[in-house]
Amino acid sequence: MSVGLYALTCGHLTGKLGRLMEGGEGEARLPIPAYLIEHPKGTALFDTGMHPDCQHDPVARLGERLTGLFRFDYAPGEQISARLEAVGRDPARIDLVVNSHLHFDHVGGNALIPNATVIVQRREWAAGMDSELAARHGYNRRDFDLGHKLLQVEGEHDLFGDGSVLCLPTHGHTPGHQSLRVRLASGDVVLAADACYFCRTLRERRLPKYVHDRTEMLASLERLAQLESRGARIFFGHDDTFWRTVPQAPAPIA
């Protein structure tokens, strides 16, 4: 079956590279990606970017601790719903939202996709529902506990039943982080999300300063490396240099 994959940029953040990669110096500009997947059996988003409140008052939305870590470059028209509408897709007709994990820059746009079933790893959702863990990981239930139909999965999950779009557990960054493998006519693409911020994260195994579980994250990086060695293209989570090479919707990723 033919699958279409489209990249959507939903703003940018800028933060200290040393927090995002061991030994990093200076600042890094971080694209906030979301992806549209079109399959004959339905449409899906992989992550939804930030909530529109972050365009005008991120402190009120996220609090001083999180907003103290980043500068926000996120303008009206860059939220996921506007990005979809700009390429002729109706946010109300998206069938599935796959959230890699529950951080604000990956689930903040869920509120703008009202009729989708949200797919998340069971252990990630459990962490989001635990007030102590949620506070530790910077989760905000206003971003994701919105009454959507919810599918909690454990391990790999085949979205459409034909192997073309597969959730891959890549734990470590958070308790239940997942990536997404999309099988295109040209070969496999793996949307790594925060399992792998940058190309250098994978090449040099330089982890962020703070992760949930270093051993699990290193194992996830090894899995990504193995997939790459078998021909998959890895799409890094927040790598600005890489992102500038990715065609943006309405052009498909070929």
Nearest by Cα to 148 from 105, 190, 120, 117: 117
The half-sphere exposure of 185 on its side-chain side, counting CA atoms within 13 A, is 8
φ, ψ of residue 11 to 5 degrees: the values are: 90, -175
Residue 159 pLDDT: 98
Q: 252, 6 in Cβ contact below 8 A? A: yes
Confidence at residue 136, expressed as pLDDT on a 0 to 100 scale: 87
- pTM recorded for the entire structure: 0.96
pLDDT tens, residue order, the chain (254 aa): 689 999 999 999 999 999 999 999 999 999 999 999 999 999 999 999 999 999 999 999 999 988 999 999 999 999 999 999 999 999 999 999 999 999 999 999 999 999 999 999 999 999 999 999 898 888 999 999 999 999 999 999 999 999 999 999 999 999 999 999 999 999 999 999 999 999 999 999 999 999 999 999 999 999 999 999 999 999 999 999 999 999 999 999 99
- Enclosing H/E stretch for 29: strand 27-39
The encoded tokens of residue 193 equal: 């999300």
Q: Give the pLDDT confidence score for residue 41 in this predicted structure.
A: 97
Report the SS3 class of residue 98. strand
Q: Assign 252 to helix, strand or coil.
A: coil
pLDDT at 1: 64
In this prediction, residue 242 carries a pLDDT of 98
Which domains are delineated in the chain? 4-243 (3.60.15.10)
Coil, strand or helix: which one is 90?
Answer: coil
Return phi, psi of residue 161, to 5°: 80, 10
Asked if residue 99 lies in contact with residue 116, where contact means CB atoms within 8 angstroms, the answer is no
Match 């790999």 to its residue by tokens: 156
- Exposed (0-12), middle (13-18) or buried (19+): which is 231, by Cβ within 10 Å? exposed
Quick one: 90 exposed, middle or buried, by C-beta within 10 A (0-12, 13-18, 19+)? exposed
Q: What distance in Å separates the CA atoms of residue 177 and residue 192, rounded to the nearest whole number? A: 10
132-145 pLDDT per residue, tens: 989 888 899 999 99
Q: Provide the token pair at 202.
A: 């994978």
C-alpha dist (Å) from residue 146 to 66, 118, 122? 21, 10, 17
What is d(CA 204, CA 202) in angstroms, rounded to the nearest whole number?
Answer: 6
DSSP 145-179: -SS-EEEEE-S-EESSSSSSEEEEE-TTSSTT-EE
Distances in whole angstroms, Cα of residue 23 to Cα of each of 14, 77, 195, 241:
17, 35, 18, 18
Distance CA 109, CA 10 (A): 9
